[in-house]
């Protein structure tokens, strides 16, 4: 049975259940940032998915990129580059980060992972970010 690692759960908010993945917004106002976790138990690597599911994952990564741009627009962060990463060195459960970046952001031009501490949105900004992401992912507002 699929169970999201509690460390991923704590740092993010649920957006939508997509065909393959649970999509979550990282609660970090430094960057528009979505995490995708395939809703299957026991996955560590992309190769653990069958090829059809790998294709679905790729489509959901691209969709998450659009949603990251929408979150960026909602919070005044103009996305210049997407960063996509599946690392799992700390939380080994398969998950893919899709992060919006711009010159001068908190980690630019390095990767975001492991840099500084998350800056939670706060309730006012969070609602707009979640709404923008859900609309972009095709789920409408909550």
SS3 138: coil
* Residues between 55 and 74 that touch a copy of itself (CB under 8 A): 55, 57-59, 61-62, 65-66
For residues 72 and 79, what is the distance between their CA atoms, to the nearest angstrom?
A: 6
Residue with smaller CB distance to a copy of itself, 104 or 140: 104
Residue with smaller CB distance to a copy of itself, 2 or 113: 113
Q: Is 7 in the site for a copy of itself (CB under 8 A)?
A: no
Phi, psi of 62, rounded to the nearest 5 degrees: -65, -40
For residues 48 and 46, what is the distance between their CA atoms, to the nearest angstrom?
A: 5
Residue with smaller CB distance to a copy of itself, 59 or 122: 59
Beta carbon of residue 102, minimum distance to a copy of itself (angstroms, whole number) = 10
User: Which of 30-38, 47-55, 121-129, 131-139 is the region at the interface with a copy of itself (rule: CB under 8 A)?
Assistant: 47-55
Residues 6 or more apart in contact with residue 50 via CB below 8 angstroms: none
Q: Is 19 in the site for a copy of itself (CB under 8 A)?
A: no
Residues 6 or more apart in contact with residue 56 via CB below 8 angstroms: 19, 20
One residue of 108, 118, 127, 135 binding a copy of itself per CB under 8 A: 108
């Amino acid at each position: 049975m699929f169970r999201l690692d509690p460390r991923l759960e704590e740092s993010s908010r649920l957006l939508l259940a997509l065909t393959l993945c649970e999509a979550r917004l990282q609660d970090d106002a430094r960057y528009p940032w979505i995490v995708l976790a395939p809703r299957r138990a026991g996955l560590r690597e992309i190769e653990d998915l069958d090829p059809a599911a790998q294709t679905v994952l790729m489509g959901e990564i691209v969709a998450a990129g659009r949603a990251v741009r929408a979150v960026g627009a909602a919070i005044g962060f103009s996305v210049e580059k997407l960063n996509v990463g599946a690392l799992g060195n700390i939380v080994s459960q398969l998950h893919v980060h899709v992060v919006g970046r711009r010159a001068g952001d908190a980690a630019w031009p390095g990767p975001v992972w492991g840099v500084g501490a998350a800056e939670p949105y706060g309730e006012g900004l969070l609602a707009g970010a979640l709404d923008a992401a859900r609309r972009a992912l095709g789920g409408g507002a909550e």
